[in-house]
């Protein structure tokens, strides 16, 4: 190593300090949310600001699950995330494969047809009217079908397929494999990393989106996790308005924080495993973009 001058040492200390502070700013809100969610009302009244609770209660969590219907909301969110992502990836791959073949007649008009939708859209209202006229309102499928394929992800996968060496596939075709067989046996196994990235993009999108449910759904039993959390945060009266009033042990604030925790934890659990794929995804997207 090169010897550092005093100036450089000061610089290094400053860099590390700033980065540590930034990391704390990213993390501390979560810790505070968790602390509030498990601190009994009595301790808050006694101590004021509680960062490290001395006593614990899960009353707020009970409240969130029992009277706010978080369990049902979890089911809806899991449905849209699992089924939705599976269909997203399936249809994206099916379209990306033919579009990656430069020899396919009509390929470029088809591509323009798809890429154009990334640049121009009819907007919220005409889309709403279409969904309405298709009778999709108030069906759980409305959370999946209108966003079945992302043109952006399609272009990423297409680009990845294109740069796979053509010889590998040709040799399988010579052996008599059909297009579908070579897609399934040759192309997809080689594309697992990019498929993982795309799946994660779709899955996080499903997990996090809330606006489509607000616009397209009425039935409160169909509301996904994010919408239920939103209602709890905005204090919108839910089924539980009265049950909350008479359970004095839990503050509304603790319930809100418990709801934040319950919605965030699944992301925190899978995040360490998927971080690598996400990082790759950014770079993939930028090459094509």
Partner 1 sequence: MQAKLAADAIPRSEKRNSWIRTIQKYKVMYILLFPALLYFAVFKYIPMAGIIIAFKNYNLALGLWDSPWVGLKNFTDFINGVYFWDIMRNTIVISLYKLLFGFSAPIVLALLLNEVYTQWFKKIVQTITYLPHFLSWVIVYGLMVALLAPGDGLFNMILKENGVQPISFLTEPAWGRLLVISSEIWKDIGWGAILYLAALAGIDPSLYEAARMDGASKWRQLWHVTLPGIRGVIILMLILKLSHILDAGFDQIFMFANSFNQEKIDIIDTWVYREGLERLKIGLATAVGLFKAVIGFVLVLAANKIAKKFDGQIW
Long-range contacts from 243-249, C-beta under 8 angstroms, 24+ separation: 243/63, 243/66, 243/67, 244/63, 244/67, 247/59, 247/63, 248/41, 249/40, 249/41, 249/57, 249/59
Among 61, 97, 161, 202, binds partner 1 (CB under 8 A): 97
State in angstroms the smallest separation of the CB of 62 from partner 1. 19
H or E segment at 253?
helix 252-288
Count, residues near partner 1 per rule CB under 8 A: 89
Among 13, 66, 124, 241, binds partner 1 (CB under 8 A): 124
Q: Give whole-number Cα distances, 27 to 24, 56, 172, 180, in Å.
A: 5, 21, 51, 47
State in angstroms the smallest separation of the CB of 208 from partner 1. 4
Query: Which is nearer to partner 1, 195 or 259 (by Cβ)?
Result: 259
Which 129-188 positions form the footprint of partner 1 (CB under 8 A)?
A: 129-130, 145-146, 148-149, 151, 154, 178-180
104 binds partner 1 (CB under 8 A): yes
Among 6, 45, 49, 237, binds partner 1 (CB under 8 A): 49
Q: Give whole-number Cα distances, 106 to 57, 102, 118, 178, in Å.
A: 64, 10, 20, 21
Which 213-272 positions form the footprint of partner 1 (CB under 8 A)?
A: 215, 226-227, 229-230, 233-234, 251, 253, 256-257, 259-260, 263-264, 267-268, 271-272
The number of residues in the chain equals 289
Q: Which stretch binds partner 1 (CB under 8 A): 122-130, 161-169, 189-197, 242-250?
A: 122-130
Query: Which is nearer to partner 1, 92 or 199 (by Cβ)?
Result: 92
CA–CA separation, 265 and 263 (whole Å): 6
213 is written with which tokens? 């449910």
Query: Which is nearer to partner 1, 120 or 237 (by Cβ)?
Result: 120
Query: Which is nearer to partner 1, 7 or 165 (by Cβ)?
Result: 7
CA–CA separation, 219 and 1 (whole Å): 65
Instruction: Determine whether 213 is exposed, middle or buried from the number of CB atoms within 10 Å of its CB (0-12, 13-18, 19+).
Output: buried
Among 6, 25, 112, 237, binds partner 1 (CB under 8 A): 25
CA–CA separation, 68 and 61 (whole Å): 10
Which 67-86 positions form the footprint of partner 1 (CB under 8 A)?
A: none
237 is written with which tokens? 């009266």
CA–CA separation, 63 and 259 (whole Å): 9
State in angstroms the smallest separation of the CB of 143 from partner 1. 14
State in angstroms the smallest separation of the CB of 80 from partner 1. 13
State in angstroms the smallest separation of the CB of 53 from partner 1. 14
Among 204, 220, 244, 247, binds partner 1 (CB under 8 A): 204
CB atoms within 10 A of CB 200: 19
């Amino acid at each position: 190593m090169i010897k550092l001058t005093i100036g450089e040492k000061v610089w290094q200390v400053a860099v590390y300090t700033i980065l540590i502070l930034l990391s704390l700013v990213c993390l501390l809100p979560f810790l505070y949310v968790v602390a509030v969610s498990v601190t009994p009302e009595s301790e808050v009244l006694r101590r004021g600001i509680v960062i490290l609770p001395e006593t614990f209660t899960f009353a707020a969590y009970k409240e969130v699950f029992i009277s706010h219907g978080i369990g049902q909301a979890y089911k809806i969110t899991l449905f849209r995330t699992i089924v939705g992502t599976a269909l997203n990836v399936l249809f994206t791959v099916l379209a990306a494969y033919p579009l990656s073949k430069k020899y396919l007649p009509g390929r470029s008009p088809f591509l323009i047809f798809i890429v154009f939708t990334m640049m121009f859209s009819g907007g919220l209202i005409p889309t709403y009217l279409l969904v309405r006229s298709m009778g999709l309102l108030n069906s759980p499928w409305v959370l999946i079908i209108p966003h079945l394929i992302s043109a952006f992800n399609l272009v990423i996968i297409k680009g990845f397929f294109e740069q796979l060496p053509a010889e590998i596939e040709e040799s399988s075709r010579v052996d008599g494999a059909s297009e579908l067989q070579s897609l399934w046996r040759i192309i997809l196994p080689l594309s697992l990393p990019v498929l993982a990235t795309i799946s994660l993009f779709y899955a996080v999108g499903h997990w996090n989106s809330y606006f489509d449910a607000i616009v397209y759904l009425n039935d409160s039993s169909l509301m996904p996790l994010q919408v239920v959390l939103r209602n709890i945060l905005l204090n919108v009266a839910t089924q539980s308005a009265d049950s909350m009033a008479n359970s004095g042990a839990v503050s509304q604030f603790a319930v809100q924080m418990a709801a934040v925790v319950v919605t965030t934890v699944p992301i925190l659990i899978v995040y360490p495993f998927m971080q690598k794929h996400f990082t790759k995804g950014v770079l993939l997207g930028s090459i094509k973009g």
